[in-house]
């Protein structure tokens, strides 16, 4: 029993030493599990962030495609109108430095492309407003009757005004009779002059037909002449 106790004593000491040495190792599984959970949470956060970034990029790319479609349509319409105004085609094409600057501004991915397209759309809308304001002051963009009245009207009023001036200056007499006779064919002359003037003043594209509003122009040229003739006849009869 003593020998066993003798042997057992150091064994217990060695076992205690072994157990003491193994104590840190017994704690390591808990620490590893905690670190694993932290790493898993971190990876899940990275995954969620990557998924959110990918979704945001997809939405930005889709919005950029829609913005590009709208912008292309608006620019095509503006280019057509600018060509009609006589702007050279080379002025409507971006230069190499402009292309380089545009490519640099869109190098940040779909979000940067979308921002650049929205900026370009703002410029296009501002240019559209400038073109619209300019068209309001250009008779060529007015309705056909209002535009043609600017040409038919002066020709239609010219001879009747001369007749009224002659009547006021000379009174009823041979000069008034001569003015009345000379004024009879003048509505036709005014209409022909207006018809030619409209073709010279207002231009349209080769695929369009210039509306000269023939009936409206004939009426405009005829009414002042009829009124002036009636006034002269009444003055002659009264005299």
The per-residue pLDDT for range 132-157, each reduced to its tens digit, is 655 554 655 678 888 889 899 999 99
Residue 169 has pLDDT above 80, yes or no: yes
C-alpha distances in Å from residue 224, one per residue of 5, 18, 152, 157, 161: 145, 127, 11, 6, 9
Q: Give the span between the Cα atoms of 13 and 2, in whole angstroms.
A: 16
- The answer to whether residue 53 scores a pLDDT higher than 70 is no
Find tokens 């003739």 and name the residue: 229
The percent of residues above 70 in pLDDT, for the chain, comes to: 77
Residues of the chain above pLDDT 90, percent: 11
Q: What would the DSSP string read from start to end of 17-38?
A: HHHHHHHHHHHHHHHHHHHHHH
Both structure tokens of 184: 């009879």
User: What 3-state DSSP class applies to 212?
Assistant: coil
Q: Per-residue pLDDT tens for 1-17? A: 444 444 444 444 444 44
Indicate if the alpha-carbon torsion angle 219, 220, 221, 224 is positive or negative: positive
**Sign of the dihedral through C-alpha 42, 46, 51, 53:** positive
The whole-number average pLDDT for the span 72-88 is: 75
- What pLDDT, on a 0 to 100 scale, did the predictor assign at position 131? 65
Supply 161's token pair: 């005004």
Q: C-alpha distances in angstroms, 181 versus 57, 139, 175?
A: 82, 35, 10
Lowest-confidence segment of 75-89, 152-166, 186-200 by average pLDDT: 75-89
State the Cα–Cα distance between residues 132 and 136, nearest whole angstrom.
Answer: 6
pTM: 0.46
């Amino acid at each position: 029993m003593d020998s066993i106790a003798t042997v057992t004593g150091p064994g217990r000491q060695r076992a205690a030493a072994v157990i003491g040495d193994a104590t840190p190792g017994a704690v390591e599984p808990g620490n590893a599990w905690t670190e694993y959970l932290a790493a898993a949470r971190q990876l899940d956060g990275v995954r969620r962030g990557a998924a959110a970034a990918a979704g945001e990029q997809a939405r930005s790319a889709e919005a950029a495609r829609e913005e590009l479609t709208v912008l292309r349509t608006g620019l095509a319409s503006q280019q057509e109108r600018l060509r009609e105004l006589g702007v050279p085609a080379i002025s409507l094409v971006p230069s190499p430095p402009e292309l380089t600057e545009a490519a640099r501004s869109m190098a940040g991915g779909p979000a940067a492309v979308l921002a650049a397209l929205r900026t370009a759309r703002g410029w296009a809308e501002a240019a559209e407003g400038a073109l619209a304001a300019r068209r309001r002051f250009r008779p060529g963009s007015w309705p056909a009757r209002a535009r043609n009245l600017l040409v038919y009207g002066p020709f239609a009023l010219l001879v009747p005004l001369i007749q009224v001036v002659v009547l006021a200056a000379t009174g009823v007499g041979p000069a008034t009779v001569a003015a009345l006779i000379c004024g009879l064919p003048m509505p036709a002359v005014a209409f022909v002059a207006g018809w030619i003037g409209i073709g010279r003043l207002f231009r349209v594209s080769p695929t369009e037909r210039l509306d000269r509003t023939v009936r409206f122009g004939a009426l405009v040229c005829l009414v002042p002449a009829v009124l002036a003739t009636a006034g002269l006849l009444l003055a002659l009869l009264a005299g």
